[in-house]
Amino acid sequence: MKESVYDVFARKERGDPLHHIGYIDAPDSELARVYAWRAYDEQNWFEMCIVPREAIIAVNRDDGPFARSRETAS
């Protein structure tokens, strides 16, 4: 089963900044939503969202955790 990495972002309260809280592996975005909600359920999140890591474009460095997606995209 081919899986992709999805980064998980969440905020605790309305108006709080969105924090990167982790990532999950999932075969598609539909399952990624369910897995993210279940894997990171230690807080009563006001809002959670996920982003496919390959959609994140690194800006200022080539050795950060998101840098590989830029290499893949280019």
Partner 1 sequence: MSGALNAADLDDTLRADLRRLIVSLADTKRILGIRYSDWLLGAPSIETGIAASGMTQDEWGHARLLYALLKDFDEDPGPVEHDRDPSAYACCDALDAPADDWADVVAFMAVVDNALTIVLEGLAEGTYEPASGRASKMIAEEGFHGEMAAAWVRRLAAGSVEARQRVAAACAGVLPRTLAWMAPDDEPARRLAEAGILPAAETMLARFTERHGALLAGAGVDMPEPDRSDWDGARGRGPGHPGLEAVERARGDRNRELFVE
> Where along the sequence are the contacts to partner 1 (CB under 8 A)?
1, 3, 24-28, 30-31, 33-35, 37-39, 41
> For residue 19, what are its two tokens?
């924090």
Grouping H, G, I as helix, E, B as strand and the rest as coil, residue 23 is strand
Q: Which is nearer to partner 1, 22 or 65 (by Cβ)?
A: 22
Q: Which is nearer to partner 1, 28 or 73 (by Cβ)?
A: 28
- We find the least distance from the C-beta atom of residue 4 to partner 1, in angstroms, to be 12
Q: Which is nearer to partner 1, 52 or 58 (by Cβ)?
A: 52
For β-strands 19-26 and 4-11, DSSP reports them as antiparallel
The residues near 14 (Cβ < 8 Å, ≥ 6 apart) are: 46, 47
- We find the least distance from the C-beta atom of residue 59 to partner 1, in angstroms, to be 29
